[in-house]
Amino acid sequence: MSTHATFFKQSLFVLSKNPILFLLPFAGTALSIIIEFIFIEELYYSNGNKVFFPNVILFGIFFAAFVITYFQLSLSRKSVGLSGLYNHSVGVLELLAIYATYSLVLFFIGSYEGQIREAYHLRSDSVSMYAFKLTNYHDIINIIPSGVVIVLLSTLTSFLFSAWMVQYVINEHDIRYGLLESLRRLTRDIVFKDTRKKMLLLFLVTLVISMLDFVLTNVAIIRISNVLQLYLYQFMILSIVDSVYAPLFSICLFFIALSRSFTSE
């Protein structure tokens, strides 16, 4: 197992030499916290009415997230010894297609999680419904089966789509290397024994992070009586944890994909 875990050590070494890899994730975290603050404030003063961001703002948030992801992939690619991403339109659009599909799947998983949360919430006002956290021991036990499904789905989705994007950008300079070819190579990586063991190890670590995300999203772990303060504090903790883990996750995926490429050569 220690042999298969060497990519973790390599990734940590790369991160220690390239702290700039944390810049974009933390910029994304700052943006998401600001947006969350604005949304919570609008919700608080809405007199119980539902609050919706205009479609223009929603699309702007989506494209901002994609731009952060795109440049993070480029920085990660450079950090592992490859050249930066080529900025040709086909490559950007194909990467956008992967990211859009990934976001859509996460949206459906989030909607399912929202339905599960509503089943445990007794108050009907929009603020408490949005910021609601489980505090009752019985409710926490009951939500575990649904939580397991949500955590597994979200982890598997994030893992596969992130690995697909990494596989795509490794050979993005080759115009013959499109979406289907990168997906085919990802499938080969999963089948290949040595790479599969590395991917399984990274998946298990990511699963632990996803479990922590689920707990912070749905369970009150901080003793604060104010519902909104509790929500915002746990949201900030969740965002910071994800920002720290995201660069490590990305670099690990690069090393796993490259180890398979070198083996096949």
User: By residue range, what is the domain housing residue 67?
Assistant: 6-264
Please report the pLDDT score of residue 208 as a whole number. 96
Specify the amino acid at residue 160: L
Please report the pLDDT score of residue 115 as a whole number. 83
In-domain check, residue 1: no
Report the percentage of the chain scoring pLDDT > 90: 43
In-domain check, residue 42: yes
Distance, in Å, from the CA atom of 191 to the CA atom of 205, rounded to the nearest integer, reads 20
Please report the pLDDT score of residue 1 as a whole number. 47
Mean pLDDT of the chain: 84
Q: Are 219 and 133 in contact (CB under 8 A)?
A: yes
Helix (H, G, I), strand (E, B) or coil at 134: strand
Evaluate if residue 11 carries a pLDDT over 50: yes
* Cβ atoms < 10 Å from Cβ of 97: 12
In-domain check, residue 138: yes
Most confident among 3-7, 214-218, 220-224 (mean pLDDT): 214-218
pLDDT for 121-165, tens place per residue? 655 556 666 777 888 888 889 889 999 999 999 999 999 999 999
Distance, in Å, from the CA atom of 213 to the CA atom of 230, rounded to the nearest integer, reads 15
Please report the pLDDT score of residue 264 as a whole number. 47
Those residues with Cβ within 8 angstroms of residue 195's Cβ, 6 or more apart along the chain or in another chain: 189, 256, 259, 260, 263
Specify the amino acid at residue 36: E
Please report the pLDDT score of residue 62 as a whole number. 93
* Residue that the structure tokens 């600001």 belong to: 34
In-domain check, residue 128: yes
Distance, in Å, from the CA atom of 138 to the CA atom of 116, rounded to the nearest integer, reads 15
Pull the structure tokens for residue 11: 């990734």
Q: Helices 6-17 and 193-218 sit at what angle, rounded to 10 degrees? A: 60
In-domain check, residue 147: yes
In-domain check, residue 134: yes
pLDDT for 175-192, tens place per residue? 556 778 888 888 887 777
Evaluate if residue 251 carries a pLDDT over 70: yes
Please report the pLDDT score of residue 48 as a whole number. 60
Phi-psi region of 81 (alpha: psi -120 to 50; beta: other; left: phi over 0): left
Evaluate if residue 245 carries a pLDDT over 80: yes
Q: Are 133 and 199 in contact (CB under 8 A)?
A: no
Evaluate if residue 205 carries a pLDDT over 90: yes
Distance, in Å, from the CA atom of 206 to the CA atom of 199, rounded to the nearest integer, reads 10
Confidence of residue 242 (pLDDT cuts 50, 70, 90): very high
Q: Which residue has the higher pLDDT, 7 or 251?
A: 251
Evaluate if residue 53 carries a pLDDT over 50: yes
Please report the pLDDT score of residue 193 as a whole number. 74
Mean pLDDT of 56-83: 89
Q: Is 128 exposed, middle or buried (CB count within 10 Å of its CB: 0-12, 13-18, 19+)?
A: middle
Q: Structural domain tally of the chain? A: 1
pTM, 2 dp: 0.86
In-domain check, residue 224: yes
Confidence of residue 71 (pLDDT cuts 50, 70, 90): very high
Please report the pLDDT score of residue 123 as a whole number. 57
Please choose, from the candidates 124, 69, 148, 117, the residue with its C-alpha nearest in 3D space to the C-alpha of residue 217.
117
Mean pLDDT of 30-34: 92
* Residue that the structure tokens 């339905």 belong to: 115
Evaluate if residue 49 carries a pLDDT over 70: no
Please report the pLDDT score of residue 252 as a whole number. 94
